[in-house]
Amino acid sequence: MKEKQDAALVFDLDGTLIDSVYQHVMAWDEAIRKAGMELSIWRIHRRIGMSGGLFVRALGRELGRELDASVVAQLQRDHEEAYLRTVDGVVPLPGARELLATLTSAGVPWAIATSGAHYPAQRSMRALNVPESVPLITRDEVTRAKPNPDLFLAAISALGVSARETFVVGDSLWDMLGARRAGALGVGVLSGGYGRTELVEGGGAYRVYDDPLDLLRHLDELGVRIATW
């Protein structure tokens, strides 16, 4: 029996539901080297999940010069090409499918909001068995990706809920920052490689879990009522 729910969840995709952050990191590393530039890999990791535009702007700052539009476009193409070469090995994180199925059957509204492009996101949606009816908001749908709140606000609007009752679940500081700017509570997961205290102290995460499986086991801490527990 479904209870009346007063909570909604908006999920980031890469590093939150899908184990793809490190492949994205190495794909950016490859693209940056190919362009004859050098950036330490940990600095790439810390930028994953933010909008591509902000990413290359930050890259320019680290390199000490502004990158012109054609260089930026080439970097983005090379990153995408390098990532797609590894994408067959990318799998859902532990508990991701079960978590989403549990929310669906309990009648908890949920959506996905990613700074990534539409095509690889759709591939992930299939791997996660996401029903057609679930809103998917990608960078193609909004003007500004994370840490701007646009993606999360669009997801909240598509669900017809209020930001105040919404938890944004993500693995990066950009998710936590975007959540706060959207007026929602941020819930962190460690599965993208950030540390717990970084997400809490740097991002203001309300709670932090290891991964989707750990979140599934603690849904009650968010006030989500699962009748069939």
Residues at the interface with a copy of itself (CB under 8 A) = 15, 19, 21-22, 25-26, 29, 33, 38, 40-42, 45, 89, 91, 93-94, 190-198, 201-202, 211
**CB 195 to a copy of itself: min, Å:** 4
**CB 41 to a copy of itself: min, Å:** 5
**CB 200 to a copy of itself: min, Å:** 9
**CB 22 to a copy of itself: min, Å:** 5
Contact criterion met (CB below 8 Å) for 164 and 128 = no
**CB 110 to a copy of itself: min, Å:** 21
**For the range 179-186, what are the long-range contacts, defined as Cβ-Cβ under 8 Å and sequence gap of 24 or more?**
179/149, 179/152, 180/204, 181/147, 181/148, 181/149, 182/149, 182/152, 182/153, 182/156, 183/149, 184/10, 184/152, 184/156
CB atoms within 10 A of CB 193: 16
**CB 128 to a copy of itself: min, Å:** 15
Burial 146-156 (b: 16+ CB within 10 A, else e): bbbbbbbbbbb
22 or 141: CB nearest a copy of itself: 22
Sequence letter at residue 34: K
Tokens 């990413």, residue located: 55
CB atoms within 10 A of CB 119: 11
Q: How far is CA 26 from CA 44, 132, 157, 209, in A?
A: 9, 31, 34, 25
Q: End-to-end CA distance of the chain: give it in Å, rounded.
A: 11
Beta bridge partners of residue 14, listed in sequence order? 18
